[in-house]
Copies of this chain bind each other. A is one copy, B any other.
Amino acid sequence: MSNKQKHLAALPLGGVGIIGTNMMVYDCDGDLIVVDAGISFPGENEPGTDVVMPDTRFLREHAKSIKGVFITHAHEDHIGGVGYMWDDFAGAPVYASPLSQMVINGKLQELGIQPKKGQLKTITTREQYQAGHFSVEYVPVSHSVPEAFALAIRTKYGTIVHTGDYKFDDAAPFGQVTDEVRLAEIGKEGVLAVFGDSTNVLNPNSTGSEAPVIEHLTKLLTEAKGRVFFAAFASHFGRTFEVAKVAAKQGRKVCFLGRTINKFIAHSKALGYWPKELNNWVIDAEEAAGLPAEKVFVFASGTQGEPASSLTRLSQGADVRGLKIRQGDTVIMSSKMIPGNEKGILAVINGFSLLNANIISEITDKKTHVSGHPGAPDVKRMYKLLNPTFVIPVHGEPSMFKGHADLARAEGYTPVMLKNGHKLVLAEPVQQPKDFIAEEGKDAKEAKQPKPFRPYITKHSYPYGFNYVDGLNILENDPLILKERRKLSYDGVVVAALAIRTTTGEWLGEISMTTRGLMDEVIQADILKEGVAKTTQALEAVFQNGRIDDRQRANEVIQQTLRRHFKHQRGKQPTCLVTFVDV
Residue of B nearest to A49 (CB): B490
> B579 near A512 (CB under 8 angstroms)?
yes
A493 is contacted by which of B47, B339, B572, B577 (Cβ under 8 Å)?
B577
Q: How many copies, total?
A: 2
Contact residues of A between 479 and 499, Cβ < 8 Å to B: 480-481, 484-493, 495, 497-499
Q: Whose C-beta in chain B lies nearest to the C-beta of A508?
A: B583
Residues B581 and A512 in contact, CB atoms below 8 Å apart? yes
Complex Cα–Cα for A329 and B484 (A): 38
B570 touches A509 (CB 8 A): no
Q: Tell me the interface secondary structure of chain A in the complex.
A: mixed
Q: Are B481 and A518 in contact (CB under 8 A)?
A: yes
- Cross-chain contact A484 with B492 (CB below 8 angstroms): yes
> Given contacts A485-B490, A495-B577, is CB(A398)–CB(B353) below 8 Å?
yes
Kindly list chain B residues whose C-beta atoms are within 8 Å of the C-beta of A353.
397-399, 401-402
Whether A520 lies near B339 (C-beta < 8 A) is no
| Contact indicator A509/B581 (Cβ below 8 Å) | yes
Find A481's partner among B339, B346, B517 (CB 8 Å cutoff). B517
Query: Is A542 located at the chain interface by the 8 A CB criterion?
Result: no
Closest residue on chain B to residue A569 by CB atoms: B472
CB within 8 Å of B: which A506-556 residues: 508-514, 516-520
- CB-based contact A517/B581 at 8 Å: no
Indicate whether A317 reaches chain B with its CB closer than 8 angstroms: no
Of B48, B202, B497, B502, which contacts A489 at CB under 8 A? B48
Q: A350-B397, A484-B517, A582-B509 are in contact. Are A471 and B502 (CB under 8 A)?
A: no
Query: Which residues of chain B are near A490, meaning CB under 8 Å?
Result: 47-48, 485
Taken together as a complex, chains A and B put the C-alpha atoms of A32 and B538 apart, in Å, by: 52
- Are the C-beta atoms of A350 and B17 separated by less than 8 Å? yes
Q: State the CA gap A471–B567 with chains docked (Å).
A: 8
Verify A509–B517 contact, CB threshold 8 A.
no
Interface check A127, CB cutoff 8 A:
no
Taken together as a complex, chains A and B put the C-alpha atoms of A350 and B393 apart, in Å, by 14
A470 close to chain B: CB less than 8 A: yes
What separation, in Å, do the CA atoms of A583 and B581 have in the docked complex? 11
- A471's partner among B471, B472, B571, B582 (CB-CB below 8 A) is B571
Query: In the complex, A541→B577 CA distance in Å?
Result: 28
* Alpha-carbon distance A472/B493, docked complex (angstroms): 17
- Chain A residues 315 to 356 lying within 8 A of chain B, measured CB to CB, are 339-340, 342-343, 346, 349-354, 356
Least CB distance from A490 to B in Å reads 4
Q: A398-B350, A581-B498 are in contact. Are A489 and B489 (CB under 8 A)?
A: yes
Residue of B nearest to A359 (CB): B399
Cβ-based interface call for A44 (8 A): yes
Q: Is A575 an interface residue (CB 8 A)?
A: yes
Tell me whether B579 and A403 are in contact (CB under 8 A): no
* A105 CB to nearest B CB, Å: 23
Most buried by B among A356, A364, A485: A485
Is the pair B342, A340 in contact by a Cβ cutoff of 8 Å? yes
Complex alpha-carbon distance, A497 and B502, angstroms: 15
A580 adjacent to chain B (CB < 8 Å): yes
B residues near A356, Cβ cutoff 8 Å = 402
A481 with B577: CB separation less than 8 A = no
Judge whether A572 and B48 touch: CB under 8 Å: yes
Given contacts A342-B340, A493-B488, contact A398 B354 (CB under 8 A): yes
With a cutoff of 8 Å between Cβ atoms, the chain B residues found around residue A452 in the complex are none
Distance in angstroms from A32 CB to nearest chain B CB is 28
Known contacts A48-B490, A570-B472, A571-B470; A579 and B485 CB within 8 A of each other: no
Partner of A512, one of B342, B349, B518, B580: B580
Contact B363–A514 (Cβ < 8 Å): no
Q: Mask for A557-583, Cβ within 8 A of B = 1, else 0? A: 000000000000111100101011111
- In chain A between 414 and 458, which residues have their CB closer than 8 angstroms to a CB of chain B? none
Say yes or no for A106: interface residue by CB 8 A criterion: no
Bound Cα distance A472, B518 (Å): 12
Q: Is the CB of B481 within 8 A of A519?
A: yes
- Give, as a whole number of angstroms, the nearest-CB distance from A374 to chain B: 16
Which residues on the B side are within 8 Å of A403 (C-beta)? 364
User: Does A43 sit within 8 A of B, measured CB to CB?
Assistant: yes
Say yes or no: is A478 at the interface (Cβ < 8 Å to chain B). yes
Closest chain-B Cβ to A344's Cβ sits at a distance in Å of 10
B48 near A570: Cβ-Cβ < 8 Å = no
Closest to A47 in B: B489
| Closest chain B residue to A337, Cβ basis | B342
A478: chain B residues within 8 A (beta carbon)? 520
Most buried by B among A349, A478, A516: A516
- Asked if B581 and A510 sit within 8 Å, CB to CB, the answer is yes
Given the complex of chains A and B, what is the CA–CA distance between A398 and B354 in angstroms? 6
12 CB-based A-B contacts, threshold 8 Å: A43-B343, A48-B491, A48-B572, A342-B342, A470-B572, A471-B570, A472-B569, A481-B518, A485-B489, A497-B579, A499-B509, A516-B575
Given contacts A473-B571, A514-B579, 10 further A-B contacts (CB under 8 A): A43-B343, A48-B492, A472-B571, A481-B518, A488-B488, A498-B581, A502-B509, A508-B581, A509-B583, A581-B581
